[in-house]
Structure 1
Amino acid sequence: MQRFEGYRALVTGAGSGIGAAVARRLAAEGAAVAVTDVDADRASVVADTVTAAGGTAVALRCDVADTASVDAAVAAAVERLGGLETLVNNAFAGTPETELLELSDMGEWLAAFDVTLHGAYRCARAAMPHLARAEGRGSIVTVGSVNGEQDFGGHAYSAAKAALGSLTRTLAVESAARGVRANLVAPGTVDTPAWDRRRPVLERVASHYPLGRVGRPEDIAAAVAFLASRDAGWITGVTLPVDGGVLIGNVAMRRDMREPAAGTPAD
């Protein structure tokens, strides 16, 4: 399908993982894509794969924690692509797996918010005037997390992801009159390069998912593309879990509860 023929999109954190998959999906459906990342080389690699596949892409460096960098990237994307209909807020900062009150002197906490939450706000603010000129096609899709819905650890990361839900709802209400929609996808565990050093953990985590596996970046990209497209033209302000069912049930826990402990007779 060419749902994005004539669309111009900017994707943050698109140098790898979910962001790269989103950039490729939107381009495959006809969009011209600004591939942005704090690592300009990684952005260039992804943009090259898009163009090699017959799509249109430009690579731009964008540090979402820096207002000047965001404003410059959005302006460059609009200049080089000719406009902007779609913004995908994907950039985030991870945090170490530690107890909440053991985070180091608020530094890790603040860093998570500055990139994940404040970065999405900076990008939305810079992109909004251009999205509002898109004649009702303007859309912001933000990548949140199931961590923003329940406690799965990574506490500063999770709190920042939860705050994205509130930001999305506010954007949806305030931008509706401008013809711009705002929605959020909440992925479960996704097999990205961040897991390369923790493959055994990822394999164990998969057993908790009702659908029997962790997600792939392409799973999230498909949901982002839906929410950004006119197929979702009457949807705004929602959080869409894309999570293999983990928010509705934990398979491993259910299995453990069904199996009697060793030496205990079953009822």
Structure 2
Amino acid sequence: MRRFEDHGALITGAGQGIGEAIARRLAAEGARVLITDVDGERAARAAELIEGAVPYVCDVGDRASVDAAVAYAVERFGSLDVLVNNAYSCTPDVPLFEDEPDEHWARDLDLTLTGAFRCARAAMPHLAASGRGAIVSIGSVNGEQDFGNHAYSAAKAGLASLTRTLAGHAAPRGVRVNLVAPGTIHTDGWKGREANLERAAPHYPVGRVGRPDDVASAVAFLASSDAGWITGVTLPVDGGILSANVALRQALAGPPVSGER
């Protein structure tokens, strides 16, 4: 498929993991992709491996940096048609809520939620001008249910709310706004903790944790004309974890009968 032929796309936090997978998918379908990341070397490494990708240093915590990235994308590609808000912060959880530091709370909300706001604000006039503008933000099941990390979860929940309110505002201008809410995704961030992923897998109804490409596929759909009548939605890409509690169901069913698995 070449659903993004001649499209200009800007993806934040795209130097690795989910963001890189999204850049790879959109580029494979014809998009010219601006891979932005606060780490310039990381962005450059990712761009080298993706045809049609250009690296750019961008800090979503700084308005001037965001405005410059958007302006560069428009200048380089001639238009900006897709914005993917993927950059985030997830500071370490604390055992007791009263020990949550102010700076952790502020950082997670600023980079995850306010950062997406900064990017959408800067991109909106250009997305509207393109006639096919789409914003897809990367939320989390943490924004829908308790999986820990108070600040990160609150930021992701706020991002889902922003998606709904912004969708109504942007629709008359021809811009669609949606959100993908992934469950546990096996990225490099889990390096050294693979055992945690193995323990988590059986709790997912589909029997595994997610992969970056699972999220990239959903983003490509929502950003494309195939989703032309979809806006303001949160799409869980979560292996069914929000719809079913496998561990509880098994506990209520009791121990397996001899010979059953």
- TM-score bin (small chain): over 0.9
Give the gaps of 5 or more residues in structure 2. Answer: 257-261
Q: Percent of counterpart pairs with the same letter?
A: 64
Preserved contact between residue 95 and residue 155 of structure 1 (Cα < 8 Å): no
In the aligned structure 2, how far is the partner of 1:103 from the partner of 1:38? Answer: 25
Partner residue, 1:265: none
Of the three residues 69, 85, 110, the one matched with 2:106 is 110
Partner residue, 1:63: 59
- How far 1:259 sits from its partner (Å)? 2.6
Give the root-mean-square deviation of aligned CA atoms: 1.1
- How far 1:62 sits from its partner (Å)? 0.6
Partner residue, 2:48: 48
Give the gaps of 5 or more residues in structure 1. Answer: 262-267
Of the three residues 197, 205, 211, the one matched with 2:206 is 211
Partner residue, 2:72: 76
Q: Deviations over 1:183-233 (max 9, x none)?
A: 000000000111112111111011110000000000000000000000000
Partner residue, 1:264: none
Q: Which amino acid aligns with 1:100?
A: F
Matches within 5 A, 1:232-251: 232-251=227-246
In the aligned structure 2, how far is the partner of 1:101 from the partner of 1:178? Answer: 44
Q: Which ranges of 4 or more aligned residues in structure 1 deviate by more than 4 Å?
A: none
- How far 1:6 sits from its partner (Å)? 1.2
Partner residue, 1:226: 221
Secondary structure of the corresponding residue to residue 13 of structure 1: coil
Matched pairs, number: 255
Matches within 5 A, 1:1-267: 1-51=1-51, 56-98=52-94, 99-104=96-101, 106-135=102-131, 137-260=132-255
Secondary structure of the corresponding residue to residue 129 of structure 2: coil
Q: Deviations over 1:65-101 (max 9, x none)?
A: 0111101111111111111000000000012122333
- How far 1:260 sits from its partner (Å)? 4.6
**TM-score after normalising by structure 2:** 0.95
In the aligned structure 2, how far is the partner of 1:45 from the partner of 1:253? Answer: 43
Q: Which amino acid aligns with 1:78?
A: V
Secondary structure of the corresponding residue to residue 53 of structure 2: strand
Q: Which amino acid aligns with 2:44?
A: S
Preserved contact between residue 10 and residue 36 of structure 1 (Cα < 8 Å): yes
- How far 1:58 sits from its partner (Å)? 0.7
Secondary structure of the corresponding residue to residue 44 of structure 2: helix
In the aligned structure 2, how far is the partner of 1:41 from the partner of 1:102? Answer: 35
